Structure 1
Amino acid sequence: MAIKRFLKLYVVICVGILCFPLLGLINTTSGAEVTGNELVNLSVDQSLVAVNDGQHDWNSWSSVENASDVNPGSHNIVLASNTAESHAKAGAESASHQTEVTGAVATALEDFLELAKYGKAIHVMAMLMVGFGFLMVFVRRYGYGAVTATYIAVSIVIPYYMFLKRMGIFGEPAELKMDRLILAEFCAASILIATGAFLGRLKMSQYIIMALIFVPSYMLNEWIMLDNGMGIIPKGQLIDTGGSIVIHQFGAYFGLGVIVRMTTSEDFNKKIESDKISNQFSMLGSMMLWIFWPSFCAAPAEISRMPIAAVNTILSLCGATLATYIASTMIRKKIAIEDMANATLAGGVAIGSSCAHTTPQASLILGVIAGVLSVIGFAIIQPRVQKALKGIDTCGVHNLHGMPGMLGGLAAIFIAENVVPGLQIKGVFITFIVAWITGLAAGTVVSLFGYRKDSYNDAVEFIVEEEHH
């Protein structure tokens, strides 16, 4: 009965999600690129042409009506003077009217662009709640915990990030507009990535503490990478449109830093169980992420580059999917569903940095490389990393987000336009250091509140159906 209820709930969610793409449809024209400001100016200029045409007709009609007033032979000098003054006054009123029209058009276009960004923001929110949430329910007895942790993390991180931005804690104070909401969602995505590393081994209250620690840590690194924080990387010089470095790499290595402090010896003896149904739900979460990933990468791009960013992301995901199938079959002799649910997304992770600055061919190739690297990570590298760290990476975030994120950040040097190689390398290195140190610190703080008694078990904190039988 529990499974049937769960299936019905998921079907309802999926039907609702089908409506989201309708909110994100934006018509783009081919030909020369048009930036957001140029789009506003173009529409304003067109409006002014219409206004000027109308004003020209009005002045012509007025001059004909009062022709006698300005006749050189006329003796009515006072009347002619009054007419000249009225013309000057009309011209001033016309200029004022044009200014008002310009402002109104600019405001309307700005509102339209904000509404268009809302479509992208909803796509990203679908990734957070449905995509990440169900991707992590592969742990058979920790499905409730996985989706609840997702709810809690997102609900804390988004308002916390936006209010800290508004206060100017890192960088200049910023208005709470759609751009800030999208950046807050990116922060939420990063903590969900980190959560995948220690999933199932924290108490639910500890997820709250972790979220409160994570946001300032993430914003510190974001400030350094994107806003010339501490004068390390000039603003706008790091190529990382879709967050391969700032979002994925940071979240992965923050999570790995936490597991060093939050993994007990009993956890190594506890098997992470999954079954056919939990893996199928995880696969559906993966597909939801796959569908909306182009919006994730394109959301922060310039308007003129959004289409190519989305296309490049799709091609990279396609390359990773095909490479995952081939690599999983070759390495494991059979297809592993964990590879198909995770490594297929590595293309979206890797293309993030250069999605708006590279070619479709390079995107496809990068996706293939990322897919193979991720499968090798799950099949070969992960056991060695866990042994070295003495920690358990529950969801394998190092394989899906850590290594592909670093790959994407460094690959931008070779496949993206206008890249400063030294700054790109510096960005990858500094992000790793900041994420690792803050992750270790967060793990140390959270460990002070104790350890979970029975890992990967909903019954410790949730009312489960078995308790009623």
Structure 2
Amino acid sequence: MPSRHRSFRCSVPWLVLLLQALLLLRSLLGFPRVSDTYSSFSSSYPVFQDVTHMVIFGFGFFLMVLRRYGFSSTGFNFLLVVLGVQCSVLAEDLLVFLKGEQNEVGMESLTKAVMSTTAVVISTGAVLGKANPVQLIVMTLVELIFFYVSRCINGTFLEVPDYLTMMHVYLFGAYFGLALASRFPEPPPGLDKNRSTPKSELFSVLGTVFVWVFWPSFNSILADSKEKAVLNTYLALAVSAVAAFMLSALTSKDGKFRMFKAAAPCPIPASPVRSPWCVLQAHIRSAVLAGGVAVSYSAQGIHHPWIAMILGLLASVITILGAHCVQRCLNPALKLQDTSGVHFTFGLPAVLGAVATVVLRVVEDGIETRWNELSSLGYTAFFNIGAFCQTISTALITGLITGLILNIKLLKAVHVSKYFDDQFYWEFPHLSVGF
């Protein structure tokens, strides 16, 4: 490795070894135990494989949008997932242990652990290319702990079903990542490494397709009515994909389909502390996934497929139009940095899905009671809205705190001139100079 690049030999290996030793020690103490009940293993494991493929392979390539950050996008994603799964199992075990119960590691707990790491993967997209491995590992530990705390609050105090508390993973990951990214210095005006190439875009599209294919498994694996969840998720994804192609052609100047919207000058004057380039705005790449996010909360509770289809359509519209508004108005005003667009890919559709769930629940309960029990309907709406607001608030507050922690000198923050560069972390023996 060139001398101008910092070595992580004295930090990353020892940090990973310490964490792995703590996890092994916890297992040696007998907590948690491996469950012996495998009655549904043959039916649950194929779906578990789908979720694993989606989180590791799909999201790993989905984040591969930067031309000089492909190794790190896929490699760090894999490291954080496999480390985060173990930390998630431990976090859930500790919460159960505090309640005075005995936790067992089975397919359900392992599935929840893999799904929880999705929050980490989404947050990583917001700080893509800016955080070093040490910062990412610390972020993983802190975020998973707070996500489990948020789930515990929703389930214990707000009486939200366990399935819905897990589906808040998109909402938590997106807004935790945005708050976290706001604490990182902005890249200098002359830095042009935060661009894509046809090759990096193609790999990102490949990851998008994998995420799209496996999303019905993700939304249905913990659902009681799995068949209904798969059907509604697929229909929402299909409609959002069709709408993405339609809106891409309508909103592009030349009337062509656009998988990515190339970086363009921001509408505000450049300043010494603000880059004159906006980050990539995705069209089809992000909008085709919006339906899966929006329908995730209510996938098993939607009795009429047309409702899921409308949700998919609205999610695609919000993603594409929201991307334009967020990039042009909100991001410059709030100084938000969102490298891979997690806000309009996951955050905004998740908000739509959470609001839609409250409306559908109130309407369904109102029809059943003939609208005679208004106090009961208000109670239901209040607790569902409370869970939604609590998740966003916890994500934003803890994200800001984590961002401040990650920028202390001990964690060796990356200099802004080294943003979005694989050579800062990986060896390229066949390259004598940059590439």
TM range (shorter): 0.7 to 0.9
- The separation in 1 between residues aligned to 2:429 and 2:205, in whole angstroms, is 24
Deviation at 1:299, TM superposition (A): 0.3
More divergent stretch after superposition (375-384 vs 204-213): 375-384
Q: Which has the higher contact order (CA 8 A, sep 6+)?
A: 2
- The separation in 1 between residues aligned to 2:227 and 2:143, in whole angstroms, is 32
- Please tell me the residue identity of whatever aligns with 2:359: F
SS of the aligned residue for 2:135 comes to helix
Identify if the C-alpha distance between structure 1 residues 406 and 294 changes in structure 2 by more than 3 Å, giving closer, same or farther. Answer: same
1:208-230 per-residue CA deviation (whole Å, 9 max, x = no partner) reads 111111111111111112x21xx
Q: 2:387 pairs with 401, 418, 427, which one?
A: 427
Q: 2:203 pairs with 277, 281, 285, which one?
A: 281
Deviation at 1:173, TM superposition (A): 4.8
Alignment of 1:203-222 (within 5 A): 203-222=132-151
- The separation in 2 between residues aligned to 1:261 and 1:193, in whole angstroms, is 17
1:419-457 per-residue CA deviation (whole Å, 9 max, x = no partner) reads 822222111111110000000011110011243121111
Quote the residue 2:413 is aligned against. Answer: 451
Q: Is the contact made by 1:242 and 1:298 (CA closer than 8 Å) also made in structure 2?
A: no
SS of the aligned residue for 1:365 comes to helix
Deviation at 1:120, TM superposition (A): 1.6
1:253-283 per-residue CA deviation (whole Å, 9 max, x = no partner) reads 0001101111335279545211111111100
Quote the residue 1:325 is aligned against. Answer: 245
What residue ranges of structure 2 are gaps of 5+ in the alignment?
1-34, 261-282, 366-376
Deviation at 1:235, TM superposition (A): 4.5
Q: Give me the TM-score of the superposition, normalised by structure 2.
A: 0.77
Quote the residue 2:174 is aligned against. Answer: 252
Alignment of 1:119-268 (within 5 A): 119-168=46-95, 173-225=102-154, 227-228=155-156, 231=157, 233-236=158-161, 240=164, 243=167, 246-266=168-188
- The separation in 1 between residues aligned to 2:189 and 2:171, in whole angstroms, is 25
Deviation at 1:241, TM superposition (A): 7.3
- The separation in 2 between residues aligned to 1:309 and 1:282, in whole angstroms, is 27
Quote the residue 1:54 is aligned against. Answer: none
Give the count of matched residue pairs. 353
Identify if the C-alpha distance between structure 1 residues 318 and 463 changes in structure 2 by more than 3 Å, giving closer, same or farther. Answer: same
- The separation in 2 between residues aligned to 1:155 and 1:163, in whole angstroms, is 13
Deviation at 1:285, TM superposition (A): 0.3
Q: 2:317 pairs with 356, 367, 372, which one?
A: 372
Deviation at 1:378, TM superposition (A): 2.2
SS of the aligned residue for 1:191 comes to helix
Deviation at 1:360, TM superposition (A): 1.1
SS of the aligned residue for 1:375 comes to helix
1:333-358 per-residue CA deviation (whole Å, 9 max, x = no partner) reads 33221321111100000000000000
1:15-61 per-residue CA deviation (whole Å, 9 max, x = no partner) reads xxxxxxxxxxxxxxxxxxxxxxxxxxxxxxxxxxxxxxxxxxxxxxx
SS of the aligned residue for 2:182 comes to helix
What residue ranges of structure 1 are gaps of 5+ in the alignment?
1-106
- The separation in 2 between residues aligned to 1:124 and 1:200, in whole angstroms, is 25
Quote the residue 1:58 is aligned against. Answer: none
Quote the residue 1:346 is aligned against. Answer: 290
- Of Structure 1 and Structure 2, which has the larger fraction of its residues in helix? 1
More divergent stretch after superposition (186-195 vs 444-453): 444-453
- The separation in 2 between residues aligned to 1:235 and 1:248, in whole angstroms, is 16
1:144-177 per-residue CA deviation (whole Å, 9 max, x = no partner) reads 0101110121022101110121233675553111
- The separation in 1 between residues aligned to 2:129 and 2:393, in whole angstroms, is 26
Quote the residue 2:431 is aligned against. Answer: 467
Alignment of 1:53-72 (within 5 A): none
Deviation at 1:198, TM superposition (A): 0.5
Q: Give me the TM-score of the superposition, normalised by structure 1.
A: 0.71
Deviation at 1:389, TM superposition (A): 2.6
Deviation at 1:239, TM superposition (A): 7.2
Quote the residue 2:346 is aligned against. Answer: 401
Deviation at 1:465, TM superposition (A): 5.5
- Please tell me the residue identity of whatever aligns with 1:400: T
- The separation in 2 between residues aligned to 1:267 and 1:202, in whole angstroms, is 19
Identify if the C-alpha distance between structure 1 residues 239 and 292 changes in structure 2 by more than 3 Å, giving closer, same or farther. Answer: closer
Identify if the C-alpha distance between structure 1 residues 268 and 425 changes in structure 2 by more than 3 Å, giving closer, same or farther. Answer: farther
Q: Is the contact made by 1:252 and 1:401 (CA closer than 8 Å) also made in structure 2?
A: yes
Q: 1:116 pairs with 31, 39, 43, which one?
A: 43
More divergent stretch after superposition (138-147 vs 268-277): 268-277
SS of the aligned residue for 1:262 comes to coil
Q: Is the contact made by 1:254 and 1:435 (CA closer than 8 Å) also made in structure 2?
A: yes
- The separation in 2 between residues aligned to 1:241 and 1:123, in whole angstroms, is 21
SS of the aligned residue for 1:300 comes to coil
Identify if the C-alpha distance between structure 1 residues 134 and 369 changes in structure 2 by more than 3 Å, giving closer, same or farther. Answer: same
- The separation in 2 between residues aligned to 1:265 and 1:130, in whole angstroms, is 28
Determine what percentage of the aligned residue pairs are the same residue.
Answer: 28
Q: Is the contact made by 2:163 and 2:222 (CA closer than 8 Å) also made in structure 1?
A: no
SS of the aligned residue for 1:266 comes to coil
Q: Is the contact made by 2:232 and 2:295 (CA closer than 8 Å) also made in structure 1?
A: yes
- Please tell me the residue identity of whatever aligns with 2:386: K
- The separation in 1 between residues aligned to 2:64 and 2:240, in whole angstroms, is 22
Identify if the C-alpha distance between structure 1 residues 258 and 173 changes in structure 2 by more than 3 Å, giving closer, same or farther. Answer: farther
- The separation in 1 between residues aligned to 2:40 and 2:142, in whole angstroms, is 33
- The separation in 1 between residues aligned to 2:71 and 2:114, in whole angstroms, is 22
SS of the aligned residue for 2:142 comes to helix
- The separation in 1 between residues aligned to 2:139 and 2:95, in whole angstroms, is 22
Q: Is the contact made by 1:382 and 1:399 (CA closer than 8 Å) also made in structure 2?
A: no
